[in-house]
Amino acid sequence: EVIGLLLDVRQTEMAFSAGDAVWYEQLLNRLEATLQRIQYLQNLAKERDKFLSLVNHLDEGVHIVDADCRVLFRNQWSKNRFSFASEPEFCYQIMFKHSERCEICPLLSSGKLKHTRGFEVSRKDGTVLHVNVMPFSDSEGQVRYIELIKDVTQAKKYESEKIEFENLKTAIEFAGTVAHELNQPLTGITGLISLVLETMDSEDANFSIIQEISSQAERMEQLIAKFLKITRIKRARYLDNDILDLKESTE
């Protein structure tokens, strides 16, 4: 409105002197520049609000910290995930409730971090966080760091279950192959032993030995049958090695 009035003054030549005209012109220019700056700041504020809204809707945490790990900003995910009665000052207090920096934190080498670096830390509640740290310079030239925090607990669990499944699949396939290869000759052995026992006199000195061989052959048949019933991987310690616990793996 003020600019409009001044424009009216200039257009109707209401200025009383050349000096007044110059003064009005300077004032008008300053007001126009101020208005442009206000509009620029308003647009900047709108863009800032859009950016903050976007950051607060991310499904991972965002921290802006200084070289001392002091948190200058954290998004809504972080506030929801790590809530406190009184706001902690440092990121390691927020994420891990540590009293000191994490030993593997890239900011321990403050000033040397030039590129993005990531690390994982397990929390006391069993969850695992993956943190990426990226350096940047703010509008005043100060070096700041963006921390992107993601809860990878479920991903780690899935990865572990996938590995376990692959191990189980391999064990079952191997056990099936072994059982098949052993079963054929063993069937022949047990058949021959049965024939020998049928034709051998029980008073024969070797009769008990053949019976023991038959008993051990039956035991092998039972073990082979267990190979085909493996449903999980359970290990047992034998000497200095971990071996498959066949009993626990088939129950």
- For the chain, which residues make up each domain, given as ranges? 2-54, 59-151, 156-250
The beta strand positions in 138-179, using DSSP E, are: 143-151
Q: What residue type is assigned to position 228 of the chain? A: L
Write out the CATH class of domain 59-151: alpha beta
CA angle 161, 159, 171 (to 5 degrees): 45
Q: What is the pLDDT of residue 24?
A: 66
CA angle 25, 29, 32 (to 5 degrees): 135
H-helix or E-strand spanning residue 71 = strand 71-74
Q: Are 106 and 133 in contact (CB under 8 A)?
A: yes
Q: What is the pLDDT of residue 148?
A: 93
Q: Are 72 and 28 in contact (CB under 8 A)?
A: no
Residue 150, SS3 per DSSP: strand
List per-residue pLDDT tens for the chain, 251 residues long: 555 555 555 555 554 555 666 766 777 778 788 888 888 888 888 988 898 888 899 999 999 998 888 999 999 999 998 888 787 888 888 888 888 887 777 776 655 667 888 888 888 888 999 999 998 888 888 889 999 999 999 998 898 888 888 887 887 888 888 888 888 888 888 889 888 888 888 888 888 899 899 899 888 888 888 877 777 777 777 777 777 677 776 76
- What does the block give as tokens for 75? 């998004």
Name the pairing type of β-strands 235-238 and 241-244. antiparallel
Q: To the nearest 10°, report the CA torsion of 30, 31, 35, 40.
A: 10
Question: How many Å apart are CA 244 and CA 230, to the nearest integer?
Answer: 10
- What does the block give as tokens for 73? 């900003």
In CATH, what number does 156-250 get? Answer: 1.10.287
Q: Which has the closest alpha carbon to 248: 239, 191, 233, 237?
A: 233
Residue 244, SS3 per DSSP: strand
Q: What is the pLDDT of residue 203?
A: 84
Q: Are 36 and 28 in contact (CB under 8 A)?
A: no
* β-pair partners for 65: 71, 145
Q: What is the pLDDT of residue 132?
A: 92
Q: Which has the closest alpha carbon to 172: 228, 226, 222?
A: 228
Question: How many Å apart are CA 105 and CA 98, to the nearest integer?
Answer: 12
Q: Which has the closest alpha carbon to 95: 135, 117, 115, 125?
A: 125
* β-pair partners for 242: 237
Q: What is the pLDDT of residue 147?
A: 92
Q: What is the pLDDT of residue 63?
A: 94
Residue 33, SS3 per DSSP: helix
Q: What is the pLDDT of residue 23?
A: 67
Count Cβ atoms below 10 Å from residue 40 Cβ, excluding itself: 10
